[in-house]
């Protein structure tokens, strides 16, 4: 992908931005997936402090949701706008866990594939979300269903952001491509059923409300569950 293409993708929003070149710190995500737990622990700890979350699984869920959103957004945004998917090689994708988007991710070598459901699935779900879920569950007791719910919610959020951006610029073809690619991604067994309806409302909860933050816009609940209902 050319620099101007990456800049246009980044204009959708911070989650869509992908810095390139030499990293000024951080750790390749391959190292995190391979057993270096310190960066992930740091990120969860920071989220817990910012949210005032007493339950570690709440902070772990929100940290996971944020990284999933970053990865889906960069891949889907590039595919919808330019018909290309950046190869997010975990060994060349550096993550700085104490920074937020767009400064948290740096790709040291820019390569791309023609856009397709398979290309996006490989770039995000296979290369990142599957190993991320594994290492996160070593750090924190958290259910796979919740994590895949986060992944589905993050993908749906990327579609909504692209719809807003494209609608403001009269780019209906971007919306069409984003929706079609996301529909294909949601057919995978891990993502199927994680969102429902035209609004793509999630069918599980990320637990944000348990940190006193209320409900997310796409939450499965209409009101925060009571303590009795939570058990």
Contact 50, 133 (CB under 8 A): no
Please provide the DSSP assignment of 61-79 as one string.
HHHHHHHHHHHHHHHHHHH
**Does 153 map to a domain?**
yes
Local confidence band at 224 (pLDDT 50, 70, 90 cut-offs): confident
pLDDT tens digits, residue range 130-180?
999 999 998 888 999 999 999 999 999 999 999 999 999 999 999 999 999
Per the listing, tokens 């339950």 go with 55
Whole-number pLDDT of residue 231: 36
Per the listing, tokens 């869509």 go with 16
Per the listing, tokens 């390749």 go with 28
The predicted model gives 16-27 an average pLDDT of 95
**Does 229 map to a domain?**
no
Length of the chain: 231
Whole-number pLDDT of residue 223: 87
Record the tokens describing residue 180, joined without a space: 């079609």
Whole-number pLDDT of residue 230: 43
Record the tokens describing residue 129, joined without a space: 């979300």
The residues with which 49 forms a beta bridge, in sequence order, are: none
**Does 212 map to a domain?**
yes
Whole-number pLDDT of residue 194: 97
Number of domains the chain is built from: 1
**Does 50 map to a domain?**
yes
**Does 228 map to a domain?**
no
Task: Give the pairing of strands 93-95 and 27-28.
Answer: antiparallel
Q: Which domain covers residue 132, as residue numbers?
A: 3-221
Task: Give the pairing of strands 19-20 and 105-107.
Answer: parallel
Per the listing, tokens 């018909």 go with 83
Q: Kindly report the pTM of this predicted structure.
A: 0.94
Distance CA 148, CA 190 (A): 6
pLDDT tens digits, residue range 75-132?
999 999 999 999 999 999 999 999 998 889 999 999 999 999 999 999 999 999 999 9
**Does 31 map to a domain?**
yes
**Does 226 map to a domain?**
no
Nearest to 161 by CA among 69, 34, 82: 69
Record the tokens describing residue 53, joined without a space: 């979350």
Local confidence band at 228 (pLDDT 50, 70, 90 cut-offs): very low
Distance CA 39, CA 90 (A): 14
Record the tokens describing residue 139, joined without a space: 């750090």
In 35-139 the beta strands, taken as DSSP E runs, fall at 84-86, 93-95, 105-107, 112-114
Whole-number pLDDT of residue 219: 87
**Does 231 map to a domain?**
no
Residue 115: count of CB within 10 angstroms of its CB: 20
Whole-number pLDDT of residue 96: 97
pLDDT tens digits, residue range 192-220?
999 999 999 999 999 989 988 788 888 88
Distance CA 113, CA 82 (A): 11
Whole-number pLDDT of residue 227: 47
């Amino acid at each position: 992908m050319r620099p101007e293409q990456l800049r246009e993708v980044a204009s959708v929003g911070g989650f869509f931005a992908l810095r390139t070149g030499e990293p000024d710190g951080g750790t390749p995500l391959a190292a995190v997936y391979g057993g270096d737990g310190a960066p992930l622990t740091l990120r969860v700890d920071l989220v817990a402090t910012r949210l005032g979350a007493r339950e570690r699984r709440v902070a772990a869920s929100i940290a996971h949701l944020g990284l999933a959103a970053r990865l889906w957004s960069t891949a889907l945004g590039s595919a919808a706008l330019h018909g290309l998917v950046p190869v997010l090689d975990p060994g060349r994708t550096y993550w700085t866990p104490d920074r937020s988007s767009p400064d948290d991710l740096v790709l040291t070598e820019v390569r791309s594939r023609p856009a397709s459901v398979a290309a996006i699935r490989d770039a995000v779900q296979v290369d990142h979300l599957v190993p991320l879920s594994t290492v996160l569950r070593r750090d924190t007791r958290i259910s796979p269903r919740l994590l895949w719910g986060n992944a589905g919610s993050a993908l749906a959020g990327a579609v909504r952001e692209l719809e807003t951006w494209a609608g403001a610029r009269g780019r209906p073809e971007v919306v069409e491509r984003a929706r079609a690619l996301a529909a294909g991604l949601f057919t995978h067994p891990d993502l199927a059923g994680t969102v429902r309806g035209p609004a793509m409302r999630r069918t599980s909860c990320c637990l944000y409300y348990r940190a006193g933050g209320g409900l997310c816009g796409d939450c499965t609940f209409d009101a925060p569950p009571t303590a009795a209902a939570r058990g």
